[in-house]
Each structure stands twice: as C-alpha cells, then as structure tokens.
C-alpha cells in the first residue's frame, strides 16, 4: 500500500458556498471520491464533523464513525461512509482565512485509529497552504477576467478610432 498523508486512505476538500449555507464538495480521493461528486452540498448548520469544524474554526476528530449517534440513528451519509466505504476514523480541519472559515479538509482512515496531535497539526499545515493556493487561484482568475474586460474595451476603442478616421478622411475629401 502506498504511503499517504497521515496514513489516511481517503481525503476530501469542501468549500463554503457564496451564501455561506453549505459546504460544496470540490475534490477527493479514496472513499471520499467514491462517495461524493463535485458539487455535492452539505449544510453548514448540519451535524457532520466537517460542518462543525467550519462553524467552530477548529479541527474535529471522530475516532470511530460507527460508534456515533449519527450512525446509530441511520444518518444516510454516515451509514454510507461506514458500511459501504469502510471509513472508521475521520478528522476535519477548517480552511481559515482572516479568522473566517472558507472550507474544510478531511482525512479518513479505514481502520479505527485516532489521528495523533502531530498528524492533525500536519493536516492543519496542509490546510493553511491550501488557503494560500485557493486565494492565489482566485486572484489569478480575477486578473484573467480583468484582462479580458480590458481587451474588450481596447478593441472597442480601436474600432471607434478606425471609424472616426474613416469619417475624418471622408469629410476631408468632400
């Protein structure tokens, strides 16, 4: 088996939607990739650890997903993760920028084994780097949009200058 971050067999990233009402699944690997498709939403006010991590802006670990009230109550997602995907332990770490949670990073294990404080700190470090990458991607996208707008304005100005030149030449020849 390949060595993975914190010996986790699955991971996922969810971002807070514009309305700040839900976490939207962006990407995952392992069980998280099999369970969710891009765009799947999870209510921020919901009972899942990822939502709690975002609300409280702190890591939330569940040492045994099978030994939770959500599993015992038959919560569809929890049952799917445990019974179909085999996930037993999970840690959710918020993606925080300027004291505002913008998303969540999750690591999951198939075996029931808690993440150590050092492993959680490592995921927090990855989460901090992810926030920087997300912000850089947003800035790059904004710059591309601004450049496209500028190109449209410049093309319009060049066309207007051409039209005025033609009119000016036509008027001079009269």
pLDDT digits (tens, 9 = 90+) for 57-76: 999 999 999 999 999 999 99
Instruction: Judge contact between 127 and 97, C-beta under 8 A.
Output: no
Who wins on pLDDT, 160 or 113? 113
Q: Within 13 Å and on the Cβ side, how many CA atoms surround 30?
A: 21
167 pLDDT tier (thresholds 50, 70, 90): confident
How far is 59 from 115, CA to CA, in rounded Å? 11
1 pLDDT tier (thresholds 50, 70, 90): very low
Exposed e or buried b for every residue in 130-153, given b needs 16+ CB within 10 A?
bbeebeeeeeeeeeeeeeeeeeee
Record the pTM. Answer: 0.75
Task: Please check the confidence at residue 170 and state whether its pLDDT lies above 70.
Answer: yes
SS3 42: strand
3 pLDDT tier (thresholds 50, 70, 90): very low
Radius of gyration of the chain (CA): 24
Neighbouring-strand partners of residue 42: 23
Average pLDDT for residues 143-153, to the nearest whole number?
83
Q: Which residue matches tokens 């030149």?
A: 165
**Least trusted range by pLDDT, from 26-35, 39-48, 68-77, 100-109:** 26-35
How far is 68 from 77, CA to CA, in rounded Å? 13
Task: Please check the confidence at residue 174 and state whether its pLDDT lies above 80.
Answer: no
Tell me what percent of the chain is helix, strand and coil, each rounded to the nearest 5. 50, 25, 25
How far is 54 from 2, CA to CA, in rounded Å? 30
pLDDT score of 31: 57
């Amino acid at each position: 088996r390949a060595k993975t971050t914190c010996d986790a067999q699955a991971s996922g990233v969810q971002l807070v939607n514009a309305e700040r009402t839900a976490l939207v699944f962006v990407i995952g690997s392992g069980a998280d990739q099999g369970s969710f498709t891009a765009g799947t939403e999870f209510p921020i006010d919901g009972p899942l650890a990822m939502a709690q991590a975002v609300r409280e802006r702190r890591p939330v670990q569940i040492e045994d997903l099978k030994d939770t009230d959500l599993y015992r109550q038959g919560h569809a997602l929890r049952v799917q993760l445990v019974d179909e995907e085999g996930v037993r332990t999970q840690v959710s770490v918020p993606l925080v920028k300027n004291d505002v949670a913008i998303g969540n990073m999750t690591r999951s294990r198939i075996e029931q084994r808690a993440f150590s404080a050092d492993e959680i700190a490592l995921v927090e470090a990855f989460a901090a780097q992810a926030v920087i990458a997300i912000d850089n991607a947003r800035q790059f996208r904004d710059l591309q949009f601004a450049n496209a707008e500028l190109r449209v304005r410049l093309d319009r100005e060049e066309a207007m200058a051409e039209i005025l030149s033609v009119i000016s030449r036509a008027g001079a020849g009269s």
